[in-house]
Amino acid sequence: MADHSKVGREYAPVTWEVERGKIRELAKAIGDMNPIYHDRDAAVREGYKETPVPPTFLTVPMMWSTSMPGVINDLGINFMMVLHGEEEYEYYGEIYPGDVITAVPRVASIEEKTSKSGRKMDMVTIELVYTNQRGEKVARARTLLVERK
């Protein structure tokens, strides 16, 4: 069961150097064959200065770092009972290969809810605000984890 007293807690920063290969890999994995994610020249022709990240790219740094397992363990969540609820992204600027983005995972909220079948569950929202190497805020990501009890 998630430790509700840890709402507001922040964890070690997640830092990620954006690579063109990871952009292409994610685009292929989600079936997005838009040439701007696979070919720098196509992206430039479409008005980008470089290959942009796909809208769901911010899942990559959080899941490839060791942060999410650490957050889950610290909150006392039973990983075997976790469902991925949703992801939400807000972009404030472009993110390109070569950018180094950093965010501090923060427990934004933990709410207990009851399912239609009467089972209790905790809804845990983790929020990350990403800045680039120039200190510019470029995006916000919110992850909802559902822990079934």
Set out the domains of the chain in order of their start, with CATH numbers: 4-18+57-148 (3.10.129.10), 19-51 (no CATH)
Confidence of residue 46 (pLDDT cuts 50, 70, 90): very high
More confident residue, 68 or 89: 89
Tell me the mean pLDDT in the region 59-84: 85
Residue 1 is predicted with a pLDDT of 83
pLDDT tens across 75-88, in order?
999 888 998 889 99
Q: Contact at 8 Å (CB) between 31 and 9? A: no
Q: Which residues of 90-104 are buried (b: 16+ CB within 10 A; e: fewer)?
A: ebeeebbbebebbbe
Residue 60 is predicted with a pLDDT of 85
pTM for the whole structure: 0.88
Confidence of residue 30 (pLDDT cuts 50, 70, 90): very high
Residue 59 is predicted with a pLDDT of 87
Confidence of residue 65 (pLDDT cuts 50, 70, 90): confident
Residue 43 is predicted with a pLDDT of 97
Strand bridging mode 137-148 / 106-114? unpaired
Strand bridging mode 14-17 / 120-131? unpaired
Confidence of residue 16 (pLDDT cuts 50, 70, 90): very high
Structure tokens at 63: 């899941």
How many other CB atoms sit within 10 Å of the CB of residue 59?
A: 17
CA dist 50 → 3, 10, 41, 44, 95 (Å): 42, 32, 8, 6, 9
